Each structure stands twice: as C-alpha cells, then as structure tokens.
Amino acid sequence: MSAQNFDLPDSQKYQKIKFQLINNVMVIPLEVNGTQLSFILDSGVSTPLLFNLTEQDSIQINKVSEVTIRGLGEGEPIQALSSRNNVFRLGSVINPNQELYVILDESLNFSPSLGVPVHGIIGYDLFRDFVVEVNYNAQHIKFHNPELYSEKRHKKSQTLSIAIRNKKAYVDGIVVLNDAKEVPVRMLLDTGSSDAIWLFENHDIGIPDKNYDDFLGRGLGGDIFGKRTKVRSIKIGDFVIEDAKTAFPDQASFSGIQNLGNRNGSLGGEVLKRFNFVFDYRNSKITLRKNRNFKTPFQYNLSGIDLQHNGLRYLTESISGPNGVIKENQSKTYGNVQILMENQTRLSLVPEIIVSGIRAGSPAEDAGLEEGDVILAVNGKSVHSYKLQQILQMLNEKKGKRVRVLIERADADKLFTFVLKDVFKDKP
C-alpha cells in the first residue's frame, strides 16, 4: 500500500459507495481516524477540509500546525490547522497518511443550509487515485482501481479531454449569451457547487440584460454575491443545454484567488447531475452520458426566500391534532424525538426552519416576510414533516402559484400570502 495515497486491496476492482444528493451536491460517508463523518465530494477542492466540529464530536487529528487559507468570498483569509498522518477510510478504500485542513471558523457550516450534518469536504485526492464513476440516477459512486479498470463504451456516451491544473479539472465548452455568437470557455468541473453555471465577466463574456442581484453562496473567504441570469445555451462536447441558469459572481469575491488562469467559470451540480460521469484524471479525460435529469427544468428561487435549519424546537400535539409550539431548543442535532405525556399530548422534538435571507424586491419581501422568521407551515402543510429541500420546492414550485406561509415572529403566528413570479419576465 502506498504511503500517501488512497488504495484498494490488491484483488478488489472497485469500491461502491452510496451518496445522498442534497441540493445538487453529493454527501458521502467517510471515516477519519476511526470517527464516522459526512463529507461533500467536491472536485473543486484540492486538500480535504474538516469543519463544523461541535463539543459533542470527538476526533483525533495528528501532527498539527497553523496555516492561513484563502478562498472564494469577500471576507478576510481564515485561520486553520494543517494536520498530517490521518487515516481516511471509505469502505475498503484507505489512505493511512492523509493531509487535511481543520477550519476553526464556526461560521463555515454547510449543515444548516443542506439540512443534514456535514463535517468536511474532500475532492482531488480521491479523483487522483481512482477512476471515479458517478451515477447520479442511482446515487452511487464506484471508485475503480485504475490498474484493473476496463472502460465500458456506450454509443450514447462521449469521452472528452480535461486539463488538470493545480489539482482541479477543467473542460472546454462553448457558451451562447444574448446573441448567436459562440464564445469558447474553459470551465472548472465543480461537483461541490449546488449551482448550475458560473461565468466570469470579460471582454468576450458580458452579463445578459435580464438579470437580478442575489446572494450566490458562501465560500472559504466569506459570502459571495453577484447577478443571476440565464444563457441561451452551453455546449459541452456534443451535448447542448439550453436556457441554462447562470450566475456572474462579483469580482470582489475572487480577490483572495491569486491565479484564475484562463478559466472562464464553473460547471456545478445542477448541470453535472444531468449526466452520469466517469472521471479519469490519470488519463486526463472524462466520459459522460446524459441521464433522466438532462431535461429537468432549472430551479430558480421564485419566492426569494433562503432557508436553513436552526437547531430544534418542541412541538406539542394533542392526540386529535396540533396544539402549538411551547418552547425552543438550540441544539444543533437534526432528527425527531417523541415523548408521550399523560396519554393525551405528544411532545415532538422537530427541526426548526428559519428564513436565512430574502432577496430584495422578491414576492416574499413584498409580502412582508423577514429574515429570522420561523417557518411553521407552507400551503397548510406543517414543515416539520418535510426535508429542507422539499420545503424549498414548495416555496418555488412554479410561476403564478399562490403560496401561503405561516410563520412565527416575536412569539406570534402570522400568515403571509404571495404569488410566485418569473424572476426575469416579471422584473420591473
């Protein structure tokens, strides 16, 4: 077994791992120094990152030193710990000497926005050491031993060259903006991004006229803002995706990145999930085949509401029906606990969902919703019975739909109603 790489036992051809597809990103189980954790599989990250460790988490990390990390976002560089000689295990896949960075900033936490606990991000090291087959339909990944892998050819699949630079993979494509002009682009393959397409503005790539300002997400360097729009099409190999959701991040978000090279943007999970992939970093190629997600409509935030978990709250219910919320609990654990009281009242511990952000000028803001509001029900359905991404779908089902949202604010329940609008056509 090699000293600083992931390996399979000599006779094993591959390791198959199930993943959760949450908000277009893959969450995989990963054992670090004997502790079972959950990581995002992110082809856009070079060294594994560990974060979101609470007082309840117990994990050993080895050979530690202090480092400073820069990343996307408009904030300052963040402090972290560099750790070596860590044992990473993924089924039969093992690396006995893995380097990782431990992020000390408690604000870097993807768990509330994804709705499941996430402790870290891993990418390049796995893609480097295996032929990685991703099946978004079946939600599983096969990590193939490169020495034993036999390429499967399919008449509907296509193999493309990729460039590996600074531990990241890039693919060339063609984008069409407002007019019929085709613009060649080099795109980062970013499985860790829940978005569809990011483009960087330059003399050839301009922002389409129909756009709106929005919060795009959070990177290592802080919050990322920019403009959301769509392009007429983007072409990767022979595959053409039309009316593709696109974001143009503000240039200030890249102030901490020293060298973007000739990169023009990124392809994120909302595009990548439309294919089943075979990543072959050793031979600088990918094979892709479109799947049943290929023509799925792009998801837009029609309501203007961003949601996240905010710990747990107690919910009292009579045997015949709901009886109201009685108190809150700030635990960061997600799940349901039920207690029966005197055979008449059921006390349930349920996730608390709050409004974490509202887009200016959106239907939700015009209706009067505010950041910090606790969501109790959407269209008469109690949200504690649904996953976070299901609630977001209820709030953004289709334009023209009337949405009723019951919230709690200052210990009082309020009901708001608004109509979902096309973020482009109905923009004033």
The pLDDT assigned to 381 comes to 93
Q: Which residue has the higher pLDDT, 171 or 117?
A: 171
Helix, strand, or coil (residue 419):
strand
Place 408 in a pLDDT band, splitting at 50, 70 and 90.
Answer: very high
The pLDDT assigned to 190 comes to 95
Same domain, 193 and 131: no
Domains in the chain, number: 3
Query: Each residue of 321-358: pLDDT tens digit?
Result: 444 443 444 444 445 555 544 455 666 667 789 999 99
For residue 27, what are the domain limits? 14-144
Residues in CB range of 11: below 8 A, 6 or more apart: none
**Residues 252-280, mean pLDDT to the nearest whole number:** 82
Q: Is residue 140 part of a domain?
A: yes
* The pair of three-digit structure tokens given for residue 271, joined into one six-digit string: 């595009």
Residue 317 has pLDDT above 70, yes or no: no
Same domain, 200 and 311: no
The pLDDT assigned to 251 comes to 80
Same domain, 102 and 198: no
Residue in this structure with the two tokens 């050491």, named with its chain if needed: 129
The pLDDT assigned to 75 comes to 57
CATH code at position 139: 2.40.70.10
The pLDDT assigned to 336 comes to 57
Residue 133 has pLDDT above 70, yes or no: yes
The CA-to-CA distance between both ends of the chain, in Å, stands at 62
Identify the top-confidence range among 248-252, 369-373, 387-391. 369-373
Same domain, 412 and 318: yes
Residue of 220, 122, 124 whose CA lies nearest to 167: 124
Q: Is residue 266 part of a domain?
A: yes
Residue of 169, 176, 210 whose CA lies nearest to 423: 210
Q: Is residue 426 part of a domain?
A: no
Helix, strand, or coil (residue 99):
strand
Same domain, 194 and 280: yes
Same domain, 27 and 138: yes
Q: What is the mean pLDDT of the chain?
A: 84
Helix, strand, or coil (residue 129):
helix
Same domain, 129 and 163: no
Residue in this structure with the two tokens 């029966």, named with its chain if needed: 340
Same domain, 223 and 120: no
Query: Each residue of 32-90: pLDDT tens digit?
Result: 999 899 999 999 888 898 886 654 455 777 667 776 766 555 556 677 788 888 999 99
Q: Residue 141 CA to chain centroid, in angstroms?
A: 17
**Residues 410-426, mean pLDDT to the nearest whole number:** 87
The pLDDT assigned to 321 comes to 46
Q: Give the whole-angstrom CA distance, residue 155 versus residue 37.
A: 39
Same domain, 376 and 345: yes
Q: Give the whole-angstrom CA distance, residue 158 versus residue 42.
A: 22
Query: Each residue of 134-159: pLDDT tens digit?
Result: 999 999 999 999 999 988 888 889 99
The pLDDT assigned to 316 comes to 64
% the chain with pLDDT above 90: 55
Q: Is residue 139 part of a domain?
A: yes
CATH code at position 378: 2.30.42.10
Residue in this structure with the two tokens 């609008």, named with its chain if needed: 421
Boundary-marking domain end, from 97, 115, 144: 144
- DSSP designation for 299: P
Same domain, 352 and 243: no
